[in-house]
Amino acid sequence: MISRCFFRYLKQTSLADYVAFRSFSRSQQTPAAVTSSFIDSLRTAVGDNNVSTSDAIREQHGHDESHHEVYKPDVVVFAESVEQVSKVAKLCNEKKVPLIPFGSGTGLEGGVNALSGGVTLDVTKMNQIVEVNAEDFDCTVQPGVMRIALNSYLRDTGLWFPIDPGADASICGMCATSASGTNAVRYGTMRENVLNLQVVLPDGRVIHTAGKGKRCRKTSAGYNLTNLFVGSEGTLGIITQATIKLYGLPEKTIAAVCHFKTVQEAVDTVVQIMQSGITMAKLEFLDDKAIEAFNKFSKYNMPVAQSLFLEFHGPALGLEDQFNTVKDLIELNGGLGLQMATDEDERKRLWKARHEMLWACTALIPGSKPYSTDICVPISHLPEVIIKTKQWIDEAKVLAPVLGHVGDGNFHVILPMTLDTGQNEIMKALALQIALLAMDLNGTCTGEHGIGMGKCHLLEKEIGPVGIQVLKDVKKCFDPNGIMNPGKIIS
Amino acid sequence: MISRCFFRYLKQTSLADYVAFRSFSRSQQTPAAVTSSFIDSLRTAVGDNNVSTSDAIREQHGHDESHHEVYKPDVVVFAESVEQVSKVAKLCNEKKVPLIPFGSGTGLEGGVNALSGGVTLDVTKMNQIVEVNAEDFDCTVQPGVMRIALNSYLRDTGLWFPIDPGADASICGMCATSASGTNAVRYGTMRENVLNLQVVLPDGRVIHTAGKGKRCRKTSAGYNLTNLFVGSEGTLGIITQATIKLYGLPEKTIAAVCHFKTVQEAVDTVVQIMQSGITMAKLEFLDDKAIEAFNKFSKYNMPVAQSLFLEFHGPALGLEDQFNTVKDLIELNGGLGLQMATDEDERKRLWKARHEMLWACTALIPGSKPYSTDICVPISHLPEVIIKTKQWIDEAKVLAPVLGHVGDGNFHVILPMTLDTGQNEIMKALALQIALLAMDLNGTCTGEHGIGMGKCHLLEKEIGPVGIQVLKDVKKCFDPNGIMNPGKIIS
């Protein structure tokens, strides 16, 4: 049922688009091939204690951190080695059983939900840091290595891996999603930071995308398989090892917060900072609603206003000059209360709170689950898109904070999904309309969360019918039986 | 015939490797489908004056700037629009006639040589700069737009496209090769700098790899088709438009040259500079032989020694401090005669001369053609690889300058190929041995020149049999009839 109120927000949207967008739901059946003898063969492959059909374990593996409906796999398998991953893939491929790789489960687009049942392959037991080449600024990790654990391990080397999606995701999961986050404006996304991947193909064969042991900074040797698997969301194979770039810890770090009376002032400042050529490490926008959530959840007392959180990394000399240039721009645009966080503990507390914003926003409406939009546009279109988005939120009378990595043109609206179906439909209509606006303005429906199960229909619009056909051909090329994470990216 | 002297340089190399490496040569026959009625259909598609079967035009399109043997196409077609490119592709695909895209012809691995004859599609008439979005730091160009012309056009905007392979290549050709060059150590390679590509598929369909009109800085929407076409060397489709990142011209630039007594000192300095975390814009090594060629060709009078050419880009404040830190490292390692080129004209003259080094080296032996190796290794292996390479060159008693983008771990040996077959075989043996050494030390046989026609056998070794099978599957997925630039990347 589509009530009158939607059309208010969907003036520019065809009814067909909206129905396609909101109508995701499928009945889930155990694939016929998942027999007890099939499960026995999995046990033989990985050991009895590494196979579970318990309801709790299946439930836990049937969803990520998003609002998307839970789809439980029939079996959960824990792999302890690439050989075991290969065996499991081969078994699933032979019987055409769906196979879903599972890392930290911190995704936001239902990337791990087992839409057609089958086997979920949990790789978190493979959690070794294989090697750190400090002198070459690279390291190699297994798929169970989490971002925070890696950076703790690296601390003594003076190096770090800066890509930071907020959640404590696994590095290989971040590869699969093409994640980024707050530091991308300076250090790039996963696309720019992966040197090599070990991948188990659906038929069990193992490849190294850049060749075994290769970790040079540059290569033009053959098709870029590395970046084909980065962002493939478990639909082409299982990433079992990643070699990634590391960076020297910045000699000096300056963090700062400032506030604006209007969204226009705040976002104009962002555009001017980016156009000044200063290399920001973080450049985040939080609207008044987001600051309210921030204050409440993390016990801050910031002015409830349109705000920017900034961070500068660099050699000590010259960094304050960059800060001062940015300060001038902020003041020119009417920015107020610029505060510098120089104390490391205070800085860490600030960014920890920023990273918890998904939960802070959700906590505004107890019992809700977060539905995060993720559009990204060229920076010149950012003021228009954010201002329109805020207007639509106001018109819809929903409580939806706006925040994001605006230095890249990427921001999120956190829509709290509840048991109120009518309200949820308004949320979905809003999300759709924001995505369509971004796509009209040279942008994408997903800057860093991926397509998952929720945006297949938007991807079709974004890349066009020929583009989608090419994606389908690529999928078929790697996964002719269609077992890998079915229903994701391509519906 | 393999004479005794090779084995001296191939102690670590199997005879089979060597034979595979050196035995490239094929008899070229006009494909049966290239009939006069087929050529008439091409004329109908693009106009009479855009189709040539003249020997001079075919010869000109049958080679790039490398030593590789000329393989002439049967017909050269000049396209003036994407519609014409599409028509030509469709005609070739229907008749299974080889189709080779041709831009500036400045490649170094025989990427345009028409190994199986067929149609070469020259896209240089499509030379419009489609749009420049100065406020978003991006622009879109047709395939005939050359690097230098683009930067001249951009001058008034305060922006530039820094990727600089030396030659005045076309931007889309640089996409096809995954080119890089002197500035990659700061700005990355083409892989990191392309936002979107328009591509004509072999069957004539047109796609935009990131969706039509998309030019956002970040996306995680579907498989990364953009980076699948970057580096595909014309084997998957024809790139007809590229949207690329631009950068603000640096506020201040410092260039400098210094000299060392030994290779070890020079290369140790490079490793220490890179490990210091200072962001160099250029960090080039030229050995004594290269400096000799440099002095002769470009009328300089530099000390004939192992040398580093450096450049720093950045905000004026702090840049001299970075220079001074590097100066200290240079002096600690015994570097001499550090000269700063602050005058812009002098700086431009210096880098122009550096970019002409391929020809400067070739001029050492009049009548020779350059054969450039292109290995890239992790920076910590660079001293070992360069020192061994120099030893082998000395033992072989050949005149082969060593130079390259050592900040990335990438360097070239310029081997002058002459009519002396015996000498040429020594050159090839040397090139092979250097590539195998790099591949043993976590490196690649090609950092930026691509595979082309000369390194298919090395790619097989580098990526392994399963990897090669995957590349073949990808090729087949995009080009089932195998018409696109046959014999390149995959033999």
φ and ψ at residue A460, rounded to 5 degrees: -60, -45
Q: Among B64, B230, B242, which Cα is nearest to B161's?
A: B242
Task: State how beta strands A99-102 and A119-122 pair.
Answer: parallel
Chain A residue with Cα closest to B470: A478
pLDDT at residue A13 in the model: 57
* Beta-carbon separation of B133 and A378 below 8 A: yes
Residue A277 touches chain B, beta carbons under 8 Å = yes
DSSP β-ladder status, B412-417 and B402-404: antiparallel
Rounded to an integer, the average pLDDT of B248-266 is 94
Q: Report yes or no on whether pTM surpasses 0.90.
A: yes
- List residues bridging with A197 in a β-sheet: A242
User: Could you report the per-residue pLDDT of B408-467, keeping only the tens digit for each?
Assistant: 999 999 999 988 888 888 899 999 999 999 999 999 999 999 999 999 999 999 999 999
Separation of first and last alpha carbons in chain A: 23
* pLDDT tens, N- to C-terminus, chain A (491 residues): 344 455 455 555 555 555 555 555 667 778 999 999 999 999 999 999 999 999 999 999 999 999 999 999 999 999 999 999 999 999 999 999 999 999 999 999 999 999 999 999 999 999 999 999 999 999 999 999 999 999 999 999 999 999 999 999 999 999 999 999 999 999 999 999 999 999 999 999 999 999 999 999 999 999 999 999 999 999 999 999 999 999 999 989 999 999 999 999 999 999 999 888 888 999 999 999 999 999 999 999 999 999 999 999 988 878 888 899 999 999 999 999 888 887 889 999 999 999 999 999 999 999 998 899 999 999 999 999 999 999 999 998 999 999 999 999 999 999 999 888 888 888 999 999 999 999 999 999 999 999 999 999 999 999 999 999 999 999 999 999 999 999 999 98
CB A283 within 8 Å of CB A185: yes
What is the spatial distance between Cα A390 and Cα A395, in angstroms, rounded to a whole number? 9
Average pLDDT, chain B: 93
Per-residue confidence band for B321, with pLDDT thresholds at 50, 70 and 90: confident
Q: How far is CA A430 from CA A69, A234, A302, A379, A426, in A?
A: 19, 28, 28, 21, 6
CB B311 within 8 A of CB B428: no
**Site from B140, B175, B220, B479 to mutate, A interface, most A CB atoms within 10 angstroms:** B220
- Residue of A90, A157, A220, A484 to mutate, testing the B interface (most B Cβ within 10 Å of its Cβ): A220
A248 CB within 8 Å of a chain B CB:
yes
- β partners of residue B241: B198
Put residue A79 in one of left, alpha, beta given phi > 0 → left and psi -120 to 50 → alpha.
Answer: beta
Q: Which residue of chain B has the CA closest to A473?
A: B477
pLDDT tens across B202-252, in order? 999 999 999 999 999 999 999 999 999 999 999 999 999 999 999 999 989
Q: One-letter amino acid identity for B477? A: C
ipTM for the predicted complex: 0.95
The residues, ordered by sequence, that sit 6+ positions from B346 with a Cβ below 8 Å of its Cβ are: none
Hey, is the C-beta of A151 within 8 angstroms of any chain B C-beta?
no
Q: Specify the pLDDT at position A422.
A: 86
End-to-end, the C-alpha distance of chain B in Å comes to 23
Tell me which chain B residues have a C-beta less than 8 angstroms from the C-beta of A133: 378, 380
B232 vs A197: CA distance, rounded Å: 19
Interface contact B443-A220, CB threshold 8 A: no
Residues 320-339 in A contacting B (C-alpha not used; CB under 8 Å): 321-322
Smallest Cα distance from B429 to chain A, Å: 20
Q: Which chain B residues in 181-210 lie under 8 Å from chain A, judged by CB atoms?
A: 184, 188-189, 191-192, 201, 205-210
Residues of chain A neighbouring B278 (CB-CB closer than 8 A): 315
Tell me whether residues A135 and B380 touch, CB distance under 8 A.
yes
Q: Three-class SS string for chain B?
A: CCCHHHHHHCCCCCHHHHHHHHCCCCCCCCCCCCCHHHHHHHHHHHCHHHEECCHHHHHHCCCCCCCCCCCCCCEEEECCCHHHHHHHHHHHHHHCCCEEEECCCCCCCCCCCCCCCCEEEECCCCCCEEEEEHHHCEEEECCCCEHHHHHHHHHHHCEECCCCCCCCCEHHHHHHHCCCCCCHHHHCCHHHHEEEEEEECCCCCEEECCCCCCCCCCCCCCCCHHHHHCCCCCCCCEEEEEEEECEECCCEEEEEEEEECCHHHHHHHHHHHHHCCCCCCEEEEECHHHHHHHHHHHCCCCCCCEEEEEEEEECHHHHHHHHHHHHHHHHHCCCEEEEEECCHHHHHHHHHHHHCHHHHHHHCCCCCEEEECECECCHHHHHHHHHHHHHHHHHHCCCCCEEECHHHCECEEEEEECCCHHHHHHHHHHHHHHHHHHHHCCCECECCCCCCCCCHHHHHHHHHHHHHHHHHHHHHHHCCCCCECCCCCCC
State the sign of the Cα–Cα–Cα–Cα dihedral A465, A471, A475, A477: positive
> How far apart are alpha carbons B414 and B105 in whole angstroms?
19
- pLDDT class of B18 with cuts at 50, 70, 90: low
A156–chain B Cβ distance below 8 A for any pair: no
Which residue of chain B comes nearest to A243, CA vs CA?
Answer: B442
Residue among B319, B448, B463 whose CB faces A218 most closely: B448
Q: What sign results for the dihedral spanned by CA atoms B373, B376, B381, B382?
A: positive
Residue pLDDT, tens place only, B333-361: 999 988 888 788 999 999 999 999 999 99
Model pLDDT, residue B98: 98
Test A410 with B218 for CB contact under 8 angstroms: yes
For chain B, say whether A178 makes contact (Cβ under 8 Å). Answer: yes
Chain A contact set for B215 (CB, 8 A): 378, 442
Q: Which residue of B has its CA nearest to A271?
A: B135
- Yes or no: say if B378 and A138 are a contact pair by the CB < 8 Å rule: yes
Asked if A444 lies within 8 A of B219 by C-beta distance, the reply is: yes
Residue B456 with chain A: CB contacts under 8 Å? none
Q: What is the pLDDT of residue A3?
A: 46
